[in-house]
Amino acid sequence: MSGNSDDLERLRLLDIVSQKGIKTLSREELERLQNLIEQKNYNHDAKAQRSKAKLLKQIAIAIYDYDTKYGNSFKTS
């Protein structure tokens, strides 16, 4: 059942991003969302695959910005 809970967590984090923006997530939440999105397979839908790549890029930038702001240059997980 962890797949279902992972999907729910991914949707919860994506909902936060869509409503409040990516900068509202903590670094741990950003890493978790990045991991959950990387695991999700969107090969059946080219548009979704492009959106996935764009979102992963935005998450990487947000993690970099967070590290720059708070002085952490290494992943915590």
C-alpha neighbours within 13 Å on the C-beta side of residue 55: 23
Q: How sure is the predictor about 71, in pLDDT bands with cuts at 50, 70 and 90?
A: confident
Q: For residue 76, what pLDDT is reported?
A: 54
For residue 77, being part of any structural domain is answered with no
| CA distance linking residue 71 with residue 54, whole number of Å | 25
Tens of pLDDT, residue by residue over 23-54, are 999 999 999 999 999 999 988 999 999 999 99
Q: For residue 1, what pLDDT is reported?
A: 47
To which H or E segment does residue 53 belong? helix 46-70
Domain total of the chain: 1
For residue 34, being part of any structural domain is answered with yes
Q: How many CB atoms sit inside 10 A of residue 62's CB?
A: 20
Domain that holds residue 42: 2-70
pTM for this prediction: 0.84
- Give the pair of three-digit tokens for residue 31: 């890493």
